[in-house]
Amino acid sequence: MSLREQLCEYGRRAVEQGLVIGTSGNLSVRQGELVAVTPSGVALDRLTPEMCPIVDIEGYLVEGDLQPSSETPMHLAVYETTAAQAIVHTHSVFGTVVATTMTELPAVHYNALLLGGVVRVAEYATYGTPELAANVRAALEGRQAALMANHGGVTIGATLEQAFEATRLLEWLCEVYVRGLSVGKPTILTDEQLAAVVDRALNPPAFPRRTP
């Protein structure tokens, strides 16, 4: 699948799975010095490959008639300082709830480790600005995901599939936390408990094979 076809595919999935509504949310995928990004003002389930602009890593438009997403500077800033090859940004409901009420998403489930642990909430700044890009970049340090205060979430990956799955996981973790709050006080995993999970994942016990 070409970079632009990938944007169409995952844009459609993002809408189908209720991660974005209207023209909100944007995706990008990188190859070398080029980045294919979703266009501004088009719903993510209405994209065709030709609609998706291609910019270079310095932000110059290389191909396409439509304007790149207004969050393109944020995407480029993240590519500049991480190994990310793809980025997904949505305004998903539970992620946005946490981003409007908390300064971080605590580790209520060990799967948070798949995103690098506690998810930071980047300080608020106007969408599309270099300030927001800088805040997101700082919040993403050592992580696969960050939340953006009063805005939404952003995840990165080595592929668009990985970044998309990270967005789904981020939303699931936020939903578990928010729903947990309505039942009681969610228990937060300790550093020791999280370290034990890492140890377990690195040293999985092998099942003994029964010999006939």
Residue 168 φ then ψ, to 5°: -60, -40
CB 101 within 8 A of CB 149: no
Residue type, 200: R
40: nearest Cα among 28, 32, 31: 28
Active-site residue identified among 71, 123, 165, 171:
71
SS3 assignment, position 166? helix
- Helices and strands in the chain, H and E counts: 6, 9
80: annotated active-site residue: no
Question: What is the dihedral angle through the alpha carbons of 85, 139, 39, 84, rounded to the nearest 10 degrees?
Answer: 0
Concatenated DSSP letters of 70-131: TTHHHHHHHHHHS--SEEEEE--HHHHHHHHH-SEE---SGGGGGGTSSEEEEPP--TTSHH
CB 84 within 8 A of CB 166: no
**Residue carrying the six token digits 């930071």:** 120
Where in the sequence numbering do the catalytic residues fall?
71
